[in-house]
Structure 1
Amino acid sequence: MYYSPDELCAAFVGSELIATGAFAEVVHEVKRHHDAHPNDLILIFDHKNSRPIEVDLRGSMEEVFERLEKQKKPLEPKVKVKKPGRPKLGVVSKEVTLLPKHWEWLAQQRGGASVTLRRLVGEAMKAADPLAAQRSAQQSTYRLMTAVAGDLPNYEDAIRALFAAEKDDFFNIIADWPEGLRHHIVQISEVAFDPSLASETQESESK
C-alpha cells in the first residue's frame, strides 16, 4: 500500500476521534496513543473515500516512519513525456487533435489549454451523471459511520436520512454523537447533501 504524507485522514478509537489532518501528523499522534494505550483498537481512514489505512505501529516512532517511507507514494507518475515539463496531479500527457480555431480559443482561456480541457471534460462527466459525486459522498460517509458509529443511538435512522439526502434530519439525529466524530462527518458528507459542491472541488483540483 502506498501513501502520501499530506493525504488527509482521521483516526478513531471506537467513536472517539483521536487525530485528524495530514497522514504523517495523524500517524505520529496514533503512535503516541498506541504506546500509552496498547489495548485500544485504532482505525485510520482517508478523508476522500473513508477507506481504512493500515499502519504497522510496532517498534519506535522512528521505526514506524522508516517502514512508511518505503511505502511513500511517488510524487509523479512514471510516464513518457514528449515536451519539457512534467504533468502535475497525476495528469498523463497524450495527443489531442483539434482545428486551429479550437487551439486559438483554448489559448485565450484562463489557465490555458490544459486547464480548460480538464474543466470541460469534468463538466461533461458531471452532466453525464450529475449524482455520481453525491452517491460517492454518501458511500464514503456510510463506510465511516458503519465502522465507528454502528453502536451509537439512532444509527439506522441516520443512515436512512443520509441516503435520502435529508440534511436537517441527518444532523439532528447525530447531534448527540461524540463531537469529534460529528465534526468529521460534517466534513466528509458535504457533497452528499449538496452535489453542487463537487464542481468546486473538481475545479480546484484541475488548476
Structure 2
Amino acid sequence: MPHVDTDTPPDSLTVFAGFHRIAAGPRAEVIAQLRSRTDSQPLFVFDDTTGEPIDLDLRDDALPHATAPEPPTRTVGRPKLGVVAREVTLLPRHWDWLNRQPGGASVALRKLVEDARKVNAERDTVRASRETAYRFMSAIAGHLPDFEEASRALFAGEQVRFEGLVAGWPQDVKAHLARLSANAWVVA
C-alpha cells in the first residue's frame, strides 16, 4: 500500500466550533486566528497528529517565553548520537542469545528493531491512521448517527462501508475525518 502523505506537521492543529472547522495549521497560526475571534462560541481543538482533543490557552502570558537554557545533564548512553539508555527485561536465554551476536546485545537489538520497523511499516501506518481518526471522531461525532458502526468499519478496514455510514455527517467533520483516515485503508 502506498503511504498517503497528509503533510501534517508535528504541531498542526484543527479547530472546530460545533461541527464547523474554523482554523487549521501550525499552533502559532491557530492561536493568532483564535485570538482575533470576537464570538464566545465553544471551541474544540484537535492535535492533527494524534486526533486527540487538547486544551489551548489563548492568554498572552500562556505563550512560552525565552529562558536561559539549563546546563546539560550527564546521561547514560550516547547522547550525541541520540542514544538513550533504558531498561529492557528479558529472560536469561534471550540475554544469552543477544550476547552471542556480533556487536553484542545493543547492536543486535537495534538491528531487530530496525528490521521489525521495516517489515511492519505499512501495518503500523494503517493502525496509527485508524487510531487517529477514531480519537477525532469519538470526540466530535460520538453522538452522531451510525457512530458505532462507522467505528467498526474503520477498524475492519471497510472504507466503502465507513464512507457510507459517515455520509450524513457534517461536511467539515467528514472532510477532516477523510484526511485523518487517508492511510487507514489497506489496498490489496
**What interval of TM-score do these two structures reach, taking the shorter chain for normalisation?**
0.5 to 0.7
Deviation at 1:167, TM superposition (A): 0.7
Asked whether the equivalents of residues 131 and 195 of structure 1 are also in contact (C-alpha less than 8 Å), the reply is: no
1:13-69 Cα deviation digits (max 9, x unpaired): 232211111111112222333xx222x2212111111123322234xxxx2xx5223
Summarize the alignment of residues 18-167 of structure 1 with structure 2, pairs less than 5 Å apart. Answer: 18-33=22-37, 36-38=38-40, 40-58=41-59, 63=60, 66-70=61-65, 92=82, 124-128=116-120, 131-167=123-159
Asked whether the equivalents of residues 6 and 24 of structure 1 are also in contact (C-alpha less than 8 Å), the reply is: no
Task: Looking at secondary structure, tell me which structure has more helix per residue.
Answer: 1
TM-score by length of 1: 0.59
Aligned length: 157
TM-score by length of 2: 0.64
Higher relative contact order, chain-length normalized (CA < 8 Å, sep 6+): 2
Deviation at 1:10, TM superposition (A): 0.5
Residue 94 of structure 2 is matched in structure 1 by none
Using the alignment, how far apart are the partners of 2:73 and 2:18 within structure 1? 39
Using the alignment, how far apart are the partners of 2:179 and 2:121 within structure 1? 23
Using the alignment, how far apart are the partners of 2:145 and 2:30 within structure 1? 28
Q: Given the alignment of the two structures, is residue 12 of structure 1 paired with residue 16 of structure 2, yes or no?
A: yes
- Which 5+ residue runs of structure 2 have no aligned equivalent? 1-8, 85-101, 104-109
- Which 5+ residue runs of structure 1 have no aligned equivalent? 81-85, 100-117, 197-207
